[in-house]
Chains A and B, each alone.
Chain A
């Protein structure tokens, strides 16, 4: 059984699947995520794969300063990712709301709504920083998976159904 746990831990570390969630970003960070997967940086060497559905993902990559409209979507998507899961906040926006601070359309930063494991600062961060952040999140994920209790920190129950 211990062998199986160690194997699982290793495999979790080597196979982080991402779901990219844009919470009102200026598109700068999103482009850098794409660049991290493109030939120059090639994150697939670490087993990283962008998934179409949050159900398939292990790591939620959130960009943007969290607009009021996006809050509900963020909670829904966070609820749809199956455990063990980790959240990476990409860019300065989700960490601090950055240049959009004091805007009345915002309800940021991201930490108010879902627990964030890794912050990757930068406006936008470099692709290698994003890859490093994802690799750190994968380590956290592997540790978290071996513990019996799941960190579920959202106060409202997330809406598990896909809203068409």
Chain B
């Protein structure tokens, strides 16, 4: 029974069967809301699906040897880890079985961006290498804040278990942590103020420059799955606990959708920042916020 529920979570909800359509839906919401904010009509509802299928049918440039193998492997690793991260989200009240904890979830969430960095260097294109270097700098900057925020949330609840974190009541301290996580999400998802690793105009879409066809389709899918996982993480932290599982699933989807709208609006309203501004933003402005959250969480813990 335990194995069955764990499998159902990984394969059906919130796992693969839910996550892949949700990934396409979120990619569409992102493009559509940017279009609407610019006064355009935007792409049709099925557009990410069309793009995915079309990319599957395209050819790839001939590559042999270890480079070819790695170029095929990176997107697959990124997709599978992102799907695993979505599968771990504690949306439904579980009945035992493998649950995983926050540390595993964070590790899985981090793998796609490591794959992107590696992919850019593997492609041996100068633009890919610049993009990877930017991604590496960006990830070092936002991850400090992101991890501190997560630690503050976990410390205020005295646990790293996802289940317990999702069920705990939302304290003011937790809101500070959630806000800090939200500030990091645009950088994690390469959205507009912090979209410099994959800047189309300056470095020909960065680490992705040499990928084509099915490999690119996998990158698009992993980007969508990252959307689902990252917004889902925040949604589970915000969502109030429901007695009925259908209701909690519904609240989860609605909250994720709201966060996607918020982030897309931010992306449409801002322009790309330079790398030094971005690094300064995270290291100087936001880190104070995160340190505050963590220290107050620890202080509360000492007092109690």
Contact = CB atoms under 8 A, between A and B. Distances in A.
B61 A160 contact: yes
A55 B61 CA distance: 8
Interface stretch (B33-41, B156-164, B238-246): B33-41
A50 B54 CA distance: 16
A8 B54 contact: yes
Contact of B50 (A47, A50, A51): A47
Nearest to B49: A11
A52 B54 contact: no
A162 interface: yes
Interface string A1-33: 000000110111011010000000000000000
A42 B56 CA distance: 26
Contacts, number: 100
Interface string B44-71: 1011011101101111111000000000
Contacts of A50: 200
A56 B205 contact: yes
B208 to A, nearest CB: 7
B38 A47 contact: no
Contacts of A39: 38-40
A53 interface: yes
Contact of A8 (B57, B201, B210): B57
A52 B126 contact: no
Interface string B10-53: 00000000000000000000010001001111111011011101
A17 B52 CA distance: 12
Contact of A45 (B42, B53, B200, B216): B42
Contact of A56 (B49, B126, B208): B208
A125 interface: no
Nearest to A57: B212
A7 B40 contact: no
Most buried by B among A12, A14, A17, A80: A14
A52 B50 contact: no
A47 B212 contact: no
B57 A15 contact: no
B212 A55 contact: yes
Contacts of B61: 55, 80, 82, 160
A7 B127 contact: no
Interface in B143-184: none
Interface in A56-84: 56, 58, 80, 82-84
Nearest to A146: B57
A139 interface: no
B235 interface: no
B50 A11 contact: yes
Given A55-B212, A162-B210, A12 B57 contact: yes
Contacts of B38: 39
Nearest to B62: A160
Chain B CB within 10 A, most for which of A14, A42, A56, A162: A56
20 contacts: A11-B50, A11-B51, A11-B54, A14-B46, A14-B47, A15-B47, A15-B54, A17-B51, A39-B38, A42-B40, A42-B41, A47-B44, A51-B200, A51-B205, A53-B205, A56-B208, A58-B58, A150-B59, A162-B126, A162-B209
- The 5 closest A-B CB pairs, nearest first, are A52-B200, A52-B205, A164-B126, A11-B53, A55-B212
Given A44-B41, A162-B125, 13 more contacts: A8-B56, A14-B50, A15-B54, A45-B40, A45-B41, A47-B47, A53-B208, A55-B209, A56-B211, A56-B216, A145-B57, A162-B209, A162-B210
